[in-house]
Amino acid sequence: MDRIRIIGGQRLNGSIPISGAKNATLPLMIASLLTDETLILENVPRLADVIQLQRILGNHGVDITIAGKRSGDDPNSGRTLHISAKHIVDTTAPYELVSKMRASFWVVAPLLARMGEAKVSLPGGCAIGTRPVDFLIMALENLGAEIEIEAGYVVARAKNGLRGAEIKFPKVTVGGTHTALMAAVLAKGTTVIENAAREPEIGDVADCLNKMGANVTGAGTSTIVVEGVGRLHGARHSVLPDRIETGTYAMAVAMTGGDVLLQNARPELLQSALDTLTQAGVTVTPTNEGIRIARNGSGLNAVDVTTEPFPGFPTDLQAQLMALMTKAKGTSRITETIFENRFMHVQELARLGARIHLDGETATIEGVAKLKGAPVMATDLRASVSLVIAGLAAEGETMVNRVYHLDRGFEKVEDKLAACGAAIERISA
């Protein structure tokens, strides 16, 4: 298994290209199941989760080709996928595939909408809490699906097609909103999704669905209205930049000090995180090319943050902010309200000398003058990158083990950081 070795203490200077968003790419690829024509996705990041989803879609008969690079292309630009679900040969998504990545469960909606049936294993994914799928099932039932749970599988049927309905989520859910949206676009009549997730990736998927001929309005607000259409066609869509990758590198620069341009990053996708960094004493400057992050000389202020659905501070940046706060002046408090078990990085950060006290959903972090390198274990996707951030500022060597979690969601993390002066390398097993 690969490991990442970091010698801390280098400032970061230069520029980092931000990749296409993982959390938009996955549902966009899944949306290809809604049409027998080709969906072309540009700016697709090179990630283990994307390859895993290629396998899952391949099992349904989806054909994916990766367009070759031409000379003169920017080596950092994402890949272009041509995805054709012309013939769906199998409507079952087996446990062996779905258990590796939770978002793959979302294939249930387009399979059901287009084929009238789907049998999808209950999901696995990051170990950050129970993460049930009850709201997703409720949404499909509202749209007229019959659902049974059989031997670990969700078996969904809608022999006479789905019909528009009102879906009111009791809690904001990204996966639930994607599921409702993808099921509703081919349903008969109007669907109104209330308390919808407002995450930018929902808006990106809705844009793509509209390019495919769907009629979706209100994405990005709490109420999404879908007028069902008879069929969808092919389209070309470019994936929006990854706001979590953006925030992660912003925190890395805040941690080490220095001055880095995050190319292609869009401030409106992570305003609350940028505001938090400003409060912490970091200089954040939006430019025509992206966002510049700088910290020179000044120390870090402690900040108090509570994770919330968009536009609040994202749970996917909670671990990275905690790493940053380990070196702030004073005491900060981070409250996690989205996932109940998302504090596995606390013990690992403690191995580097961080002082963190956990009480229910709140972590209290007492800033220390210095962290010291140590071997640490990556436990989930976002936690693993928080250990990289801490390692960049720790004295001596930090070895991050089990980096396959990192590869699921961060493209070329060691190359991007090394290009800005970090002493970081991958040690391949």
Q: What is the set of active-site residues?
A: 126
Give 249 or 339: the residue with its C-beta nearer to ligand UD1: 339
If one asks whether residue 276 binds ligand UD1 (CB under 6 A), the answer comes out as no
**Residue spans of alpha helices (H) in 229-296:** 243-256, 271-279
148 binds ligand UD1 (CB under 6 A): no
Question: According to CB under 6 A, which one of 39, 103, 354, 393 is a site residue for ligand UD1?
Answer: 103
289 or 340, CB closer to ligand UD1? 340
Cβ–Cβ under 8 Å, residues 290 and 249: no
Q: Which of 207, 242, 259, 316 binds ligand UD1 (CB under 6 A)?
A: 316
Which region among 3-11, 170-178, 293-301, 350-358 touches ligand UD1 (by CB under 6 A)? 170-178
Q: How many CA atoms are closer than 13 Å to the CA of 331, on its beta-carbon side? A: 6
As measured in angstroms, the least distance from the Cβ of 187 to ligand UD1 is 19
Site for ligand UD1 in 104-133 (CB under 6 A): 129, 131-133
- State yes or no: residue 175 binds ligand UD1 (CB under 6 A): yes
Please answer whether residues 349 and 387 qualify as being in contact, where contact means their C-beta atoms are separated by less than 8 angstroms.
Answer: yes
Please say which residue, 55 or 372, places its beta carbon nearer to ligand UD1.
55
Would you say 207 or 316 has its CB closer to ligand UD1? Answer: 316
CB burial string 169-195: b at 16+ within 10 A, e below = beebbbbbbbbbbbbbbbbeeebbbeb
DSSP β-bridge partners for residue 225 = 192, 217
Cα separation values, 274 from 29, 60, 241, 243, 283, Å: 29, 41, 15, 11, 9
**322 interacts with ligand UD1 by CB under 6 A:** no
Q: Tell me: does residue 168 bind ligand UD1 (CB under 6 A).
A: no
User: Which residue in the block uniquely carries the two structure tokens 């939006």?
Assistant: 286
Q: Angle CA(169)–CA(171)–CA(173) in degrees, nearest 5?
A: 80
What residue number has its CB nearest to ligand UD1? 175
Q: Which is nearer to ligand UD1, 22 or 327 (CB)?
A: 22
Q: At what angle do helices 134-142 and 174-184 cross, to 10 degrees?
A: 20
CB of 281 to ligand UD1, least distance (A): 27
**Nearest of 106, 122, 114 to residue 89 by alpha carbon:** 114
Among 91, 173, 191, 264, binds ligand UD1 (CB under 6 A): 173
In this complex, which beta carbon is closest to ligand UD1, that of residue 316 or of residue 411? 316
d(CA 136, CA 110): 13
Residues interacting with ligand UD1, by CB under 6 A?
A: 23, 26, 102-103, 129, 131-136, 171, 173-176, 315-316, 338-339
